[in-house]
Amino acid sequence: MKRTFSVGLVFLLAVLPALFAKAPDPKDAATASQLILWSAAAEDEAEALVKAFNAKHPEIRVSIIRAGSGELITRLNAEQPRPQGDVLLAIAKETFDEHYNLFRPYKCANHDSIPSTVRDKAEIPRYYGFSMPLQAFIVNTKLLKPDQYPKKWIDLTNPKYKGEIILANPALSGSAYSQIYMMYKLYGEDALKKMAKNAVFVASSTAVPESVARGEYAIGVTGEANIAKYILEGAPVTYVYPEEGTGARFDASAIIANGPNPKAAELFMDFVTSPEAFKIILNTRQRRVVVDYLPGPGPLPSLDKIKLFDYDAVEAGALRDELTSKFSDWIQ
């Protein structure tokens, strides 16, 4: 009886520390030695960012897995609950919203320098902006004088421009759909109907800036990078950012929840939201970055000179089939 009691006491003393010990938190690790970066950015962008990151953290060995955003999200879901990536780089904000719980909240070191319009709205964000594919008007300067330029989205419904506006078909182009969604949010269906009757529509979104640059049309709506391209090539075009604003659509980056290297992931998020990283993003591929303290790409203005409004990508996605179907009827 005494022996049984003694053995039980020894066992209890042995397991008590384990029962009451705090579970180890991988974030408390003193050092970080590895990072697995899942990137939808161009290969040269990701490599330039990693090179600069390693200059600050040579002790961290970084592996880059490059794929499209859809492939990366599919992999992330398939690897739950223990995904093998640490940071997801440069995919659309709406994709983060659709898979919100797969990312870990983290308030990065540069939080206060990132505008609230280009980060997760939560007090401790799950993602921060990377770059911005803004939409703007491209205008042929030989066909219109400055006082004739459209200044607002609603100007696209003005009969004086009938036949002078070229747009991509929103049923065939994601960027073109974003344009009609913005018009819809600002002015409703009546304005969309008027714009549908006022413009010429083409299947290819790249045909819009090309046609304006050649002087076939006076006005188009396109991604601002296309406008910069033709300005730099010497085409007689300029940009107009609508006075009402343009939707703050953006790509972002985030820490993957339950990834294998959480401390290294935090260090990388601190870096990729830094001025140094945003300069790399701007200069490697002439991307518009999400901070207003850096210039715009090429001849385009800096972000603090452009009025933005929130772009509800989740709602836009939910309305897409309905809006594009109606719009297709209106342009016939």
Residues 289-313: tens digit of each pLDDT:
999 899 998 899 988 899 999 888 8
Is 90 in a helix, a strand, or coil?
Answer: strand
Mean pLDDT of all residues in 53-72: 94
Position 147 confidence tier, pLDDT thresholds 50, 70, 90: very high
Contacts of 188 (CB under 8 A, 6+ apart): none
Residue 144 is predicted with a pLDDT of 98
Does 68 lie in the same domain as 103?
A: yes
Query: Is 224 a member of any domain?
Result: yes
Query: Is the per-residue pLDDT at 94 higher than 60?
Result: yes
Bigger pLDDT: 95 vs 119: 119
Query: Is 191 a member of any domain?
Result: yes
Query: Is 71 a member of any domain?
Result: yes
Mean pLDDT of all residues in 118-142: 96
Does 140 lie in the same domain as 73?
A: no
Residue 6 is predicted with a pLDDT of 40
In angstroms, the CA 194 to CA 330 distance is 9
Bigger pLDDT: 270 vs 284: 270
Mean pLDDT of all residues in 122-126: 97
Is 256 in a helix, a strand, or coil?
Answer: strand
Residue 83 is predicted with a pLDDT of 97
Residue 202 is predicted with a pLDDT of 94
Residue of 296, 321, 330 lying closest to 134 (CA atoms): 296
Does 73 lie in the same domain as 208?
A: no
The secondary structure of residue 33, as a DSSP letter, is -
Does 125 lie in the same domain as 243?
A: no
Residue 8 is predicted with a pLDDT of 42
Does 174 lie in the same domain as 102?
A: no
Mean pLDDT of all residues in 22-38: 65
Does 148 lie in the same domain as 111?
A: no
Query: Is the per-residue pLDDT at 4 higher than 90?
Result: no
Does 120 lie in the same domain as 35?
A: yes
Query: Is the per-residue pLDDT at 19 higher than 90?
Result: no
Residue 102 is predicted with a pLDDT of 98
**pTM to 2 decimals?**
0.73
Residue 46 is predicted with a pLDDT of 95
Does 81 lie in the same domain as 173?
A: no
Query: Is 26 a member of any domain?
Result: no
Query: Is 18 a member of any domain?
Result: no
Residue 68 is predicted with a pLDDT of 85
Residue 184 is predicted with a pLDDT of 97
Does 242 lie in the same domain as 153?
A: yes
Query: Is 23 a member of any domain?
Result: no
Query: Is the per-residue pLDDT at 232 higher than 50?
Result: yes
Residue 24 is predicted with a pLDDT of 35
Is 144 in a helix, a strand, or coil?
Answer: coil
CA angle, residues 120, 82, 250, in degrees to nearest 5: 25
Domain containing 113 equals 31-132+250-295
In angstroms, the CA 135 to CA 186 distance is 15
- Write out the H or E segment, with its range, that includes residue 28: none
Mean pLDDT of all residues in 216-220: 98
Query: Is 25 a member of any domain?
Result: no
CATH of the domain at 240: 3.40.190.10
Position 204 confidence tier, pLDDT thresholds 50, 70, 90: confident
Percent of the chain whose pLDDT exceeds 90: 72
Does 226 lie in the same domain as 167?
A: yes
Does 96 lie in the same domain as 58?
A: yes
Query: Is the per-residue pLDDT at 265 higher than 60?
Result: yes
Residue 175 is predicted with a pLDDT of 85
Q: Contacts from 327-330 at CB under 8 Å and sequence distance 24+?
A: 327/170, 327/171, 327/180, 327/192, 327/196, 328/169, 328/171, 330/192, 330/193, 330/196, 330/197
Does 263 lie in the same domain as 120?
A: yes
Bigger pLDDT: 29 vs 175: 175
Query: Is the per-residue pLDDT at 207 higher than 80?
Result: yes
Query: Is the per-residue pLDDT at 285 higher than 90?
Result: no
The total number of structural domains in the chain stands at 2
Query: Is 287 a member of any domain?
Result: yes
